[in-house]
Structures are given as structure tokens and as C-alpha cells.
Amino acid sequence: MRINFNVPPYTGKEFDYVKECVENQKICGDGPFTAKDNEWFEKKTGVSKCLLTTSCTHATEMSALLAGIKEGDEVIMPSFTFVSTANAFVLRGAKIVFVDIRPDTMNIDENLIEAAITPKTKAIVPVHYAGVGCEMDTIMDIAKRHNLLVIEDAAQGVMATYKGRALGSIGDMGNYSFHETKNYSMGEGGALLLRDERFVDQAIIIREKGTNRTLYKLGKVDKYSWIMPGSSFLPSDMNAAYLYAQLQMADEINNARLDHWNRYNEALRPLAEAGLIELPYVPEECKHNAHMYYIKCKDFEERKGLIEYLTGHDILPASHYVPLHSSTAGVKYSVFHGEDRYTTKESERLLRLPMYYKLTDDDLDEVVMRVKEYYKFS
Ligand SMILES: *Cc1c(COP(=O)(O)O)cnc(C)c1O
């Protein structure tokens, strides 16, 4: 493809930092770069603790362990999300309870959550789709009144805010992804954000195979031993070094992406005004991070035609999630509470256009030109 859907971010400093790790023989987990990354996020988001992990999937699995999720518990989330959001809780024996999304943001409909709560409910997992925040004030209020934990899937939400607060720092726990398809990358990687001190010590132990090795290294305990069930959720410092180069350029990357997003939005507005497509919506209280630019076609068939048209012109667009409740595992491990008014219908007509840090204006303009051609719009 001449214009790819995604090109992983690269700033130029990554290799120098990885080289530094190798030369200093500091390549295992929790080295100097991991500490720098953690501090960077703590400062940026205001959380008590950030713990770099091997993926957002693993950060979510850690969250499920910390939340004490067990057989028979219920966890509420949208069905329009990545499998990892659900898997982490299914692995602990929970039943997933999906509720419908809002058609405007593709985020969980905060007004449908309360009716899905039962005495077995333990947590709500909002997913900030496209880096646009869910209606967090409403969600936090529901959680407080029902004594539930809120675990934010902020995989796509790095650098985005809701009412001035960083996505991932509002709920009890937040999960970031640094997969190569995300705004900032370390190949594979993620982070667990802990808003307050409550879960910090336990999280450190779980991440280090269930031992208190980290506390021992800090001189907080005088013996290093097995404390509780855990796993190996810490990445090599070489990956952390790669990410650090990008964090140092975080504003530059974010601004470049926002420029692309705004350029798409301006150029495609006439098509929306003509009623041919729909454009993304960002609520006033949300500052997004241009994680993606999507449009909505009339229906599945029209989207199929557009995908074929763009692909035929060497441009790679991408549809997105097949709703989890309709998948093989979803049928087994989940229920959809209430009516699926929007989840399936909206997911079938959403199309993501090429979006990445170094996307050029020329390439972006060509994508727009081809979309207009497909709709015979001039
Ligand atoms: C990317 C993504 C994940 C998984 O992230 P990994 O770091 O690849 O494990 C989870 N949830 C959402 C919403 C994502 O977009």
C-alpha cells in the first residue's frame, strides 16, 4: 500500500537510548528508563503511581487481580472494544455484562450502566474510544453509590483529558497501551495507573511475580519472598528506553496528530453537510489526542464499497471491532444487558482513515480526494 493505515511513531532518539541500555548492561525490568517513564506519567497525570507493563492487556489483567475479581463476579463494559478489556476479567472467572454505546462517541452509554448493576457487580470498565473521554463524572458517581471499582481502559487515551483530568487517572485504576498502533510506542508495552495509594504496594508485588523483590530492593523489607499470586508484568528496560524517546517528544507528536485530525475534519465537512457521511463528535469537556480519524458511512454495504475503492487506490483504511457479544467467546462468557440499539449498527458503518504521526498533508489530501470520488462529490 502506498498510504498505510498506520506507521509506528519514530522520533530518531530511540536507538541512542536502547544503545545506552546495552552499553550500561541495564536491560532487565525496572531499570533507569522504566523509572523515567513512570515518573513522566506520574507528573503528567497526577496519579500516585504509574507502573510500566508488558502491554495494556497485562495492565488490565493486573487490574483484575488487584480488584480481587473471582468466579461469579460481574463486570460492566461496552461490547464495542478490544478483546483484552473482557479477557482480563474472564480469566478470573467473571461474567461480562455489556451495555450499549452512545452513537455519538462510540463510548459506553453512561445512562444504561445503573440498570445493569446486580449484587454481583464488582467493577465498571469504561473504554475511551479514539481517545475521547467517557462521561466520567456520571460513571464515578454511579460507582460511588454502588461501591464499585472503576477501571479505565485508556489504551487509546494517552495525552487526552476529560474536564482537564488525564484519561486513565480518574478511575481507581487506568490502563495505557504502547503497542505500535498507538500514539506512543515501545513495540509492545503498557502501563497501569493507580490514582491513589490504596493498591500501590499490592500492584508492585503482583507485577514482580508475587514477590516483594521491589520493596526489598528499596530497603522497605529485609527479606525477599513469595507474598501472593502474581506474574511477570514488567518490560525490559530496552523497551522502556524506546518509549522514553517518544515521551520527550509527546507534545510534538500530539500536535502533529491533532493537525492531521483537524485537516481531515475540515476537508470532509462538506460531505457531512451534504448528508453523505458522519464525522466524529468530541464533547466539549473532552480534549482528545487524535488517536484515530473515523467517518461513518450509511451502512455496512456502503462501507464495504469504500474500503474496496480506497484499497484499489493504494490506500489502506480499517474497520474496527466486531462487537464482543457476538463473538464465539462472547456468547459463552458474556450477556448483553438491554437492547443492542447502536453497538452492532454503528460498528458496521465506522471506517478509520490512515492516521499516524508522520502522515503528510499530500497523502492525507489524497485520501480525502478518493473518499470524495467514491461519493461522487465535487
Ligand atoms: C490497543 C488496545 C488494547 C490492548 O493493548 P495492548 O497493549 O496491545 O495489550 C486494549 N484496549 C483497547 C481499547 C485498545 O485499543
Contact 243, 216 (CB under 8 A): no
Model pLDDT, residue 16? 98
pLDDT per residue as tens digits for the range 30-40: 999 999 999 99
CA neighbours within 13 Å on the CB side: how many for 296?
17
Separation of CA 84 and ligand 1 centre (Å): 7
What pLDDT score was predicted for residue 173?
98
CA–centroid distance for 114 within its chain: 23
175 Cβ closer than 6 Å to some ligand 1 atom: no
The pLDDT assigned to 244 comes to 98
Integer-rounded Cα radius of gyration of the chain: 21
- pLDDT reading at 157 higher than 90: yes
Which secondary-structure segment (H or E) carries 361?
helix 361-374
| Overall size of the chain counted in residues | 378
Residue 218 reports pLDDT greater than 90: no
Could you tell me the distance, in angstroms and rounded to a whole number, from the CA of residue 259 to the centre of ligand 1? 24
What does the block give as the cell for 277?
Answer: 457521511
Q: Which three cell numbers stand for residue 325?
A: 457479544
Q: What distance separates the 2 farthest-apart alpha carbons in the chain?
A: 73
pLDDT for the residue 150: 98
211 lines ligand 1 (CB under 6 A): no
Any ligand 1 atom below 6 A from CB of 55: yes
Q: Which of 55, 61, 84 to probe ligand 1 with, by most ligand atoms within 8 A of CB? A: 84
pTM of the predicted structure, to 2 decimals:
0.97
Please state, in angstroms and rounded to a whole number, the distance separating the CA atoms of residues 225 and 303. Answer: 56
To test ligand 1's pocket by mutation, which of 6, 53, 57, 107 has the most ligand atoms within 8 angstroms of CB? 57
Instruction: Match 525490559 to its residue by C-alpha cell.
Output: 236
For 77-115, what is each residue's pLDDT tens digit? 999 999 999 999 999 999 999 999 999 999 999 999 999
271 Cα to the center of ligand 1, angstroms: 31
Q: Would you state the cell numbers that stand for residue 207, as one nine-digit string? A: 507485577
CB contact at 8 A, 14 and 242: yes
- Nearest alpha carbon to residue 274 among 303, 251, 298: 298
The proportion of the chain whose per-residue pLDDT surpasses 70, expressed as a percent, equals 100
**What percent of the chain lies above the pLDDT cut of 90?**
96
pLDDT at residue 1, rounded to an integer = 84
Q: Give the atom of ligand 1 at the shortest distance from the alpha carbon of 190.
A: 7
pLDDT of amino acid 214: 85
For residue 58, the ligand 1 atom closest to its alpha carbon is 9
CB 287 less than 6 A from any atom of ligand 1: no
> Which residues on adjacent β-strands are paired with residue 162?
165, 286
SS3 of residue 191 by DSSP: strand
Asked if residue 54 lies in contact with residue 191, where contact means CB atoms within 8 angstroms, the answer is: no
CA angle 54–58–64, rounded 5-degree value: 155
Lowest mean pLDDT among 52-66, 208-222, 265-279, 301-315: 208-222
pLDDT score of 262 more than 90: yes
Confidence of residue 221 (pLDDT cuts 50, 70, 90): confident
pLDDT 10s digits, 115-156? 999 999 999 999 999 999 999 999 999 999 999 999 999 999
pLDDT digits (tens, 9 = 90+) for 306-333: 999 999 999 999 999 999 999 999 999 9
**206 Cα–ligand 1 center, Å:** 20
* Closest residue CA from atom 14 of ligand 1: 155
377 Cα: distance to centroid of ligand 1 (angstroms): 36
Ligand 1: residue of 77, 177, 184, 324 to mutate (most ligand atoms within 8 A of CB) is 177
Per-residue model confidence (pLDDT) at position 163: 98
Mean pLDDT over 323-345 rounds to 97
Kindly give the number of the ligand 1 atom that is closest to the alpha carbon of 156.
15
